[in-house]
Chains A and B, each alone.
Chain A
Amino acid sequence: MDGIHDLGGRQGFGEIDVDESDEQFHEPWEARVRGIVNAMSGAADWNLDWFRHCRELLDPADYLSRPYFDQWVQTYCAMLVNSEVATVEELASGKSVAPVSGMPAPMRAAAVKSARPGAKRYDREIDVGPAYSVNDSVRAKSHGIPGHTRLPAYVRGHAGQILRHHGAHVFPDANALGEKRFEHLYTVGFPSSELWAEAQRQNATVYLNLWESYLEPL
């Protein structure tokens, strides 16, 4: 979707706040939210791409102005309401009116030490071979995609070259609709001069990881 989240190459956001301290969380509630999200159980048909899409659908002004973990809170609230696990009134008051059934048990404290969130795999072997090989020239498709997608606007219609093939990974556009499909994934390099009229150097390249159906042969 052509939403506010698709920020690559947009202009006018000003300087970066580079003097930030090394603390991982700046407020106690932020650490708490991170912990809640790691520890909570959820509907069986939730996944990372659905979460991302629900965050992309925040009101654009909220997306740009609200603290990051506050956006997580509202995104999970929206997912809970949408899946009929909680009502807006319950989320506003923090008081449960009706119990939920059919949820998996939440994580226990004893399981946290051995939890390995980074160990989750998103790839799978598929029967279809890759359409592209390393060094092939490709073009990113030029049309936008209405729902969730990981094809950023700034590369659409531009030519690049395959740097690496990563096997088949879960396809985000379908995953965000609750549909598990796997597609070949490639790292594609786009020369900065191909992407930007004012490219600063000839020897600059932007690399993206793009699924096969985002690409066409050149």
Chain B
Amino acid sequence: MTKHDSDTIAAIHRELHSHLPSEPALRAKALESLLVEKGMIDPAAVDAWVGAYSEDIGPKNGARIVARCWIDPDLKQRMLDDAARAVKELGYEQSHLIAVENTPDVHNLVVCTLCSCYPTALLGMPPNWYKMAAYRSRAVRDPLGVLAEFGVALDEQVEIRVWDSTAELRYIVIPQRPAGTDGWDEAALASLVTRNAMIGTERDLSARAAADT
């Protein structure tokens, strides 16, 4: 039976701090071994998840959704109206999802100041910086400074919308379609869409990026 008591957990953390193995990899190994012995994990299922993250789960899913939105304005509108339903049409499940669109006059930036909430089903694992104190503390207060560090300079008139993911609603930014991509197919367009552009720490995607890679 779980005792939902903050002081008890804090005391257990202090005890664990001084008793667990000294290296993170060793702590993880001990946890896994113990859970296997207790019958609480099937190591083959852990292997299967590791495989899924390296093959199926990642930002290429979000990139494909963005590319489809660029090709199909009706789909983009459905994304903005009800993103969870729209991504389901494309075979993805993110039950509580909001899509926000960058335009010449609007820039969107996504953060989770309290932990690291992220649309994992569409973008995979968040980058480390998304989980660290510098980004989480500054995105809501110093968005221009944050963007500058990522090499993004916004024109004076551009409105900034910062989205703090404080509930089970996840966000995906639909970046602007780069110039010079008329007639490109979904795969070619998707190859231009970066993870950072879907978080909002990149703004101007370039048609040249695909040609260079």
Interface residues of chain A, those whose CB is within 8 Å of chain B, are: 1, 5-11, 13-18, 20, 22, 24-29, 31-36, 38-43, 45-46, 48, 50, 52-55, 57-59, 62, 64, 66-70, 73-74, 76-79, 81-86, 88-96, 99-100, 103, 106-109, 111-113, 116-123, 146-147, 150-152, 154, 166, 169-170, 172, 176-178, 185, 187, 192, 195-196, 200-201, 203-211
Contact = CB atoms under 8 A, between A and B. Distances in A.
A17 B127 CA distance: 10
B140 A59 contact: no
B89 interface: no
Interface string B45-68: 111111011100111000000000
B2 A43 contact: yes
Interface in B129-149: 129, 131-138, 140-144, 146, 149
Contact of A50 (B1, B2, B95): B2
A6 B166 CA distance: 11
A123 B46 CA distance: 29
A104 to B, nearest CB: 9
A151 B166 CA distance: 8
Interface in B1-27: 1-4, 6, 8-10, 12-17, 19-21, 24-25, 27
11 contacts: A24-B57, A27-B24, A76-B31, A81-B16, A91-B19, A96-B38, A100-B39, A106-B39, A203-B159, A205-B160, A210-B167
Nearest to B146: A16
Interface in B109-165: 111, 113-116, 119-122, 124-125, 127-129, 131-138, 140-144, 146, 149-151, 157-165
A112 B45 contact: yes
Given A36-B32, A106-B45, A122 B6 contact: no
B136 A108 contact: no
Contacts of B210: none
A110 B80 CA distance: 35
Contact of B37 (A52, A58, A96): A96
A99 B39 CA distance: 9
Contacts of B20: 74, 77, 88, 91-92
B168 A169 contact: yes
A82 B12 contact: yes
B38 A45 contact: no
A46 B2 contact: yes
A151 B13 CA distance: 24
B50 A32 contact: yes
A91 B30 contact: yes
Contacts of A100: 38-40
Query: What 10 pairs across the A-B complex have the smallest Cβ distances?
Result: A118-B121, A8-B113, A35-B49, A94-B33, A94-B30, A209-B167, A96-B37, A112-B48, A109-B44, A35-B46
Contacts of B165: 209
